Chains A and B, each alone.
Chain A
């Protein structure tokens, strides 16, 4: 893993070398703020917590994270730099992990920049900071899972648009299967067992409990194993392309 660091540094730098980072940060901050204040009724709820902030994350990530992740491999393939990268003494796991970590770190930076909302709620009332920290952790883990999906779809094509659409679709399904309305419908069509089983794989289900401030190891394991599995699949796709 000696080449993890240079590749990671390069990748993270690439976001800030292009307008992508600034556009993303701007939209992300506007959207998270806007959603929690207007759609979430931050003030109207009269509660010193950030649930109106975090509840929108699965929906915002649905579009924003595939937008960050779509370039990861598709761009390298399109511009031909993938040939440069894989003829340097960089191993496949190093490359996949470093690129993923850089994008994840970038999203982490975006998430950290939402800190004024924490200050706001702290100024207005007396929130439970444990719940807030736990929610941030949950949000970050969930972002990682979204990103791992985007990275995988990005490795499958050299077209960033295809990569984006594919990952939005997959993420959408994974958000949907955990929503009350949808599980209700599923349990009507099939059985409660099937609906429960499907919702076990949903982002929403696992994010909800972390959002309540409960660090259940099952949720953490879910997100981590999701990321690990998807990244392994990512490596397999890239290895496959080498053999064509």
Chain B
């Protein structure tokens, strides 16, 4: 659906985007992650034909953006970073304007506008000037504008920015539902959002892609991945640690500070990314330890994000 090849964007001497390549298929929800200034928004602006790339190739739905930007624009729904809209108009007027530009008229236009007003929960503010709306509502107006023409591709720059937890939940549901038959790219720096929503993640730092894969795959690169947390009641910590250490495949055992007296917490780090849960519970049974908690850590996206984007920064 979207093909990006060797995309470069330079602003003067500054290289904002440095040879990025990726492909996305229908049904994928791609999370675009990166620290501020990494080049996420610039890439999105090039995908939506707002900025012209310095070099490289983009095609959307089989159409090259430099050859036929007008057709490309009809295939894309875009929510800009600022969720900018014409604030002097009221919600219905604004959505009607977008609909007209998108080529709808008459009854069809009215239906489309009505549909997105329902879908984005805008009924209560439909005749209110956008100027007077709270950030959450403005964001929803921006969202409504982006999906009005039911485009096959959705590009959302920080779609849940500034929303309260309930609204975030609603918007995520919307995105998830649409993700089935569309191709969605969303940028964010909320990592939980990526874990909850995205079928694929690209981490970008200083204009380059530093990771590309499913959330699980990327999480597996975390140093915490497949570590085991273990809490035992009434045990001599050094002795237990030595016993745990003796399990083959265990690289290190740390004793973590405890919040309850009589409870000792351990973090078991495996040699390789190997699941040692079986061996640990086996040992616990043999030693008759009274366990409070035994869990396998899935790894944190957060960790991977930091280690990938902080390199060479400190």
Contact = CB atoms under 8 A, between A and B. Distances in A.
A9 to B, nearest CB: 8
A84 B11 contact: no
B70 A83 contact: no
A79 B87 contact: yes
Nearest to B105: A6
A217 interface: no
Nearest to A241: B51
A83 B89 contact: no
Given A7-B101, A242-B50, A242-B51, A87 B84 contact: no
A242 B50 CA distance: 7
Contact of B88 (A17, A87, A242): A17
Given A243-B52, A244-B11, A10 B84 contact: no
Contacts of A5: 100
Q: What DSSP secondary structure best describes chain A's contact surface?
A: helix
Interface stretch (B73-81, B247-255, B291-299, B306-314): B73-81
A122 interface: no
Contacts of B11: 244
Nearest to A14: B88
Contact of B86 (A3, A10, A83): A10
A37 B73 CA distance: 54
Contacts of A79: 82, 84, 87
B19 interface: no
Nearest to A7: B101
Contact of B51 (A7, A14, A90, A244): A244
Contacts of A242: 50-52
Give 7 nearest A-B pairs by CB, closest first.
Answer: A80-B84, A6-B100, A17-B88, A80-B82, A87-B48, A89-B73, A83-B80
Interface of A: 2-3, 5-7, 9-10, 13-14, 17-18, 79-81, 83-84, 86-91, 242-244
Given A5-B100, A87-B50, A242-B51, 15 more contacts: A3-B100, A3-B101, A17-B88, A79-B87, A81-B84, A83-B50, A83-B84, A84-B80, A87-B49, A87-B73, A87-B76, A89-B71, A89-B102, A91-B70, A242-B50
Interface of B: 11, 45, 48-52, 70-71, 73-74, 76, 78, 80-82, 84-89, 93, 97-98, 100-103, 129, 145
